[in-house]
Amino acid sequence: MGETNAGKSTLINRLVGQKVSIVSQKVQTTLSKILGIVTRGDSQIIFIDTPGFSHNRKKCNANLEKIAWDAFREANEVMFVIDVCRKKQESSIALLQKIHPDRRVSLVMTKVDLIHKPILLEIAAAFNKIRNFEKVFMVSSLTGSGIDEILNYLESVVLEGEWLYDADQITDSPFEKYASEITREHVYYRLHQEIPYQCIIETEDYENKADGSIRVVQRIRVKNKAHKAIFIGQAGGKIKAIGEASRRELSELMGREVHLFLHVVVDEKHYSGKEN
């Protein structure tokens, strides 16, 4: 858990070794609880990627914060993630102070490759004054530095019991949700302001073809005709770029050719709250 854009999703993708959660520079990109599963030797570690807490109260989404706190209560171990490149850490400290002192919490300092060591040590000292951590990890999701240390620690403290997932499973998300999330990530890259937050992307159908490829049909539900026009772009250029980028990434992640078809529809009933 941690603030928005602290690097939680990037960290989990690196820990798992494959993308399970989408990444964007926009705040509160993670909209639901996402599981990343790592099986090493006799241990299975289940990471819960949660929506971030916004330090800007005007942009705070209470529903997303509830999802994060619910996941917090569900977990055996809490990994509190901070971005060491942020000039001010007061809001992260305030969030940390909301956690009961009896709770097991480790501090994960991300993006350590981008900051000088003396500053890094100052930040660590400031957080260590707040509470006693189980462990303090200094990691770079970009280079992989510190990743093994997190996995080794969690492997040593997981509770005894049966594995909850198959050894080769990396997430609990069904393919439909996984594919929709990949497209949503590329929507965030190419559209701005509030529009990416005001659309719903659904995988309506997918089919495994005889040649080994996958045919995927997705529907993008938008608020009004103006939003639809923005999604489509001039001469269809915007939606084509989104679809091509998503198709390429899905093909790479699945290890086989993906044929992706996107349809943008106006769904005024849903956004007006008239839908049953």
How many whole angstroms separate alpha carbon 158 and alpha carbon 98?
25
So what's the pLDDT on residue 27? 45
Give the full edge-to-edge strand order of the sheet including 199-208: 199-208, 214-222, 258-266
Residue 181 lies in a domain: yes
DSSP class of residue 105 equals E
How many whole angstroms separate alpha carbon 90 and alpha carbon 93?
5
Residue 170 lies in a domain: no
- Condensed to tens digits (0 to 9), the pLDDT of residues 240-253 reads 999 999 999 899 88
257, pLDDT greater than 60: yes
Q: Are residues 118 and 220 in the same domain?
A: no
Whether the predicted model's global pTM rises above the 0.85 cut = no
Q: Are residues 185 and 148 in the same domain?
A: no
Write the CA distances from 205 to 119, 176, 188, 202, 216, integer angstroms: 50, 8, 23, 9, 6
23, pLDDT greater than 80: no
In this structure, what CATH number is given to the domain that contains residue 98?
Answer: 3.40.50.300
22, pLDDT greater than 70: no
> Structural domain tally of the chain?
2
In this structure, what CATH number is given to the domain that contains residue 202?
Answer: 3.30.300.20
How many whole angstroms separate alpha carbon 151 and alpha carbon 40?
9
Residue 87 lies in a domain: yes
Residue 99 lies in a domain: yes
